Structure 1
Amino acid sequence: MTTATAPPPTPPTPPTPSTPSTPAPAPSTPAELAAAHGLTLSGARPTLPRYIAQLWGRRHFVTTYATARMQAQYSSAKLGQVWHLVTPLLNAAVYYFIFGIVMRASHGVPDYLPFLITGVFVWDFIGSSVNAGTRAVHSNLGLVRALHFPRASLPLSTVVQLFQQLLVTMGALVILLLAFGQTPSPSWLLAVPTLFLTAVFAAGCALVMARIGSKSPDVSQLMPFVLRTWMYSSGVMWSIGTLLQTAGLRHWVSMALRINPAAVYIDLMRFALIDSFGAQSLPPHVWPMAIGWALLAGVGGFIYFWKAEEEYGRG
């Protein structure tokens, strides 16, 4: 009888020595440290779509801030908010005396008083928007440095405030036009797109000047002289068409006067509201020019301001 023999046990396999892993290098630069701990740059400029979304999210702040500033502007005066209407009317009265009576600019211009008042009201909005935009960021440095919000809210709130004032004066302008014998017509509806294009243009100019004024505050001291020159070349007190027919100006001067954006919007408002201001008084291609100036200033000014978003409040 044969006895089965069990196989000898297999010796255990010695453990394979593990290769030590190389430790990751420790972050050495500020950028690497920030990335390692999930930190982001405070005040960094967002992308343009995100910036627009942030600004839209603060639209209530813009309108509320503008309304509060409008109500506080004449809070210490006895007449209060009436000054929003009285101030442009007094300007129109002064201009009428100097230009309409003394300098006889009213000759050859039918319905000169409606012509003048309309020009003064529109120009006051454009000029005041540009002038206020120059100081919009620099005069609010404390707010800019303390809170994180789209800085475009500041110049845009000034334009909203002035646009609210313009709507008040436009209501008074309608009453004055009726008092001076103007009759309502379908052309009065053209005042709505004209106001919109004017507001977009003024907002773009305010954004451009806000960026310039934030870096060079002395610009605000020069703006009254620049705006006065711009006003005199915009046909606020006199007719550009009558001047071009009688003065014999050089071609480039005539072209500059006709494509002047302030003059374009003023003439469109006069065309909409004044019976005697017909299409022959408008420059050629006036509506494409009005739209073009609004797009150039509005879109270009917004992008120009956004590109320096992270620089406001520094230095």
Structure 2
Amino acid sequence: MAGKSAESLAEFAARHGLTQSAARPPLRGYVRQLWQRRTFIWNFASAKSMSMYTSSRLGQVWQVLTPLLNAGVYFLIFGVLLGTNKGVTNYTAFLITGVFVFTFTQRSLTAGAKSIGNHLSLIRALHFPRASLPFAYVIVELQQLLVSMAVLAVLVLVTGEPLSPHWLLVVPALVLQLVFNVGISLVIARMGAFVRDIQQLLPFMTRAWLYFSGIFFMTAALAERETLREYPWIGELLQANPASVYIELVRTALIESYRGDLAAHHWGYAHLWWYALAWALVAFIGGFWYFYRAEDRYGRG
């Protein structure tokens, strides 16, 4: 009886052209819907960005102060106390650049994990591509990064680095990092939508990633240590680490003395562009497909 009733409902829907409201559209149609909502994504991100620090007296200044304060603490611990600054001519610019660039990925990942779960009422009330939310949150972090990069440029100049045409390479490096961040944010957004515990585990995961990303030490110098010479694959893994790849690209673009430090170790950085492109494409294509496959499940329950 139940099967007969279900069949009649299906026939009734087909006869009148009715479709499931939360059904996943074809991939091409989904991409088209997402593009049509690009203005909504940007405006949503801008509103979020403006409201993030409204309750703080210093407001938007915190988006620059936070990574700067972190860099100060890391400089004291790793640069002064542990001496990981050996082999780096301009360790201040080296460290600050690493912290600023990694923060972009770290915050994108953290925001992506909350992008679906924190907007269930919106998802259940309106019909729109759910990927709009992770996209918007990464745009929020991009807007924050642009301000941070302006401050970083000043700090790099203050530390004695010259302004050079190499600085233009920061743009494609950050564009590739943006594409990568969108991809991993889509992955973590789907995971966070169904497993809320991921938000509790994420700080530990990103902190471990931080320590392995060459922010406090020169990866090229570490790979030459006697303890690692027997295991060259470890050095290869450290260099292929996506966070390290984007950090190194920005460093070699902004810090002239660092390019000299790498040359002293007979270590080139041209291959990093291939790593950066590969990570961006794999993360974005894989992440988008992974998120899209669960489009009709977000907001249920």
Q: Which TM class, normalised by the smaller chain length?
A: over 0.9
Which moved further from structure 2: 217-226 or 239-248? Answer: 239-248
1:179/1:284 CA distance change after superposition, 3 Å = closer
- C-alpha contact 1:27 1:36 (8 A) present in aligned 2: no
Among candidates 239, 242, 253, match of residue 272 of structure 1: 253
Identity %: 48
Correspondence for 2:49 among 65, 70, 76? 70
Measured at CA, do residues 28 and 82 of structure 1 come closer, stay the same or move farther in structure 2, by a change above 3 Å?
A: closer
Aligned to 2:134: 155
- Choose which of 281, 295, 301 in structure 2 pairs with 1:295: 281
Q: Which residue of 1 aligns with 2:36?
A: 57
Structure showing greater Rg? 1
Q: Provide, for residues 161-185 of structure 1, a one-character-per-residue CA deviation record: whole Å limited to 9, x for no partner.
A: 0000000000001111111111111
Q: Is the 8 A contact 1:188 1:272 kept in 2?
A: yes
Distance (Å, rounded) in 1 between the aligned partners of 2:175 and 2:96: 19
Deviation, 1:30, is 2.3
3-state secondary structure, aligned to 1:135: helix
Question: CA contact under 8 A between 1:267 and 1:282: conserved in structure 2?
Answer: no
Displacement, 1:29?
2.9
Query: Taking structure 1 as reference, are residues 284 and 255 closer, same or farther at Cα in structure 2, changes over 3 Å only?
Result: farther
Per the TM alignment, residue 252 of structure 1 is displaced from its structure 2 partner at its CA by 2.7
Among 160, 165, 170, the alignment partner of 2:144 is 165
Task: Determine if contact 2:223/2:232 at 8 Å carries over to the other structure.
Answer: no
Q: Which residue of 2 aligns with 1:216?
A: 195
Q: CA deviation at 1:277?
A: 1.9
Structure 2 equivalent of residue 306 of structure 1: 292
- What amino acid is the match of 1:140? H
Aligned counterpart in structure 2 of residue 235 of structure 1, from 190, 196, 214: 214
Q: In the alignment, is the contact (CA less than 8 A) between 1:265 and 1:290 conserved in 2?
A: yes
CA contact (8 A) 1:145 1:313 kept: yes
CA contact (8 A) 1:114 1:177 kept: yes
CA contact (8 A) 2:45 2:136 kept: yes
Q: Residue by residue, what CA displacement relative to the aligned partner does 1:163-220 show, whole Å, maximum 9, x if unpaired?
A: 0000000000111111111111111110000010000001100000000111101011
Greater helix proportion: 2
Distance in 1 (alpha carbons) for counterparts of 2:246 and 2:94 = 13
Residue 284 of structure 1 and its aligned partner are, at CA, apart by 6.3
Distance 1:194 1:39 in 2: 47
Bigger drift between 249-258 and 128-137 goes to 249-258
Q: 1:247 to 1:139 in 2, by over 3 A?
A: farther
Between the aligned partners of 1:82 and 1:50, the Cα distance in structure 2 is: 40
Closer, same or farther in 2 for the Cα pair 1:282/1:156, shift >3 Å? farther
Q: Please say if residues 222 and 235 of structure 2, whose CA atoms lie closer than 8 Å, have aligned partners that are also in contact.
A: no
Residues in 2 aligned to 1:201 and 1:272: alpha-carbon distance in whole angstroms: 19
Structure 1 gaps of 5+ residues are 1-25
User: Which aligned pairs between 1:234-253 and structure 2 lie closer than 5 A?
Assistant: 234-249=213-228, 250-253=231-234
CA contact (8 A) 1:258 1:283 kept: no
Q: Answer whether contact 2:213 2:243 (CA < 8 A) is retained.
A: yes
Q: 1:282 Cα deviation (Å)?
A: 4.6
The TM-score normalised by the length of structure 1 is 0.89
Offset, 1:49: 1.2
SS at match of 2:256: coil
Residue 63 of structure 1 deviates from its aligned partner by 0.8
Distance 2:24 2:89 in 1: 53
| Whole-Å separation in 2 of the counterparts to 1:120 and 1:200 | 19
2:44 and 2:136 in contact (8 A); partners too: yes
The match for 1:17 is: none
- Gaps (5+ residues) in structure 2? none
Kindly report the root-mean-square deviation, in angstroms, between the aligned alpha carbons of the 2 structures.
Answer: 1.5
Aligned pair 1:123/2:127, yes or no? no
Asked if the contact 1:130/1:209 (under 8 Å) is kept, the reply is: yes
| TM-score, normalised with respect to structure 2 | 0.93
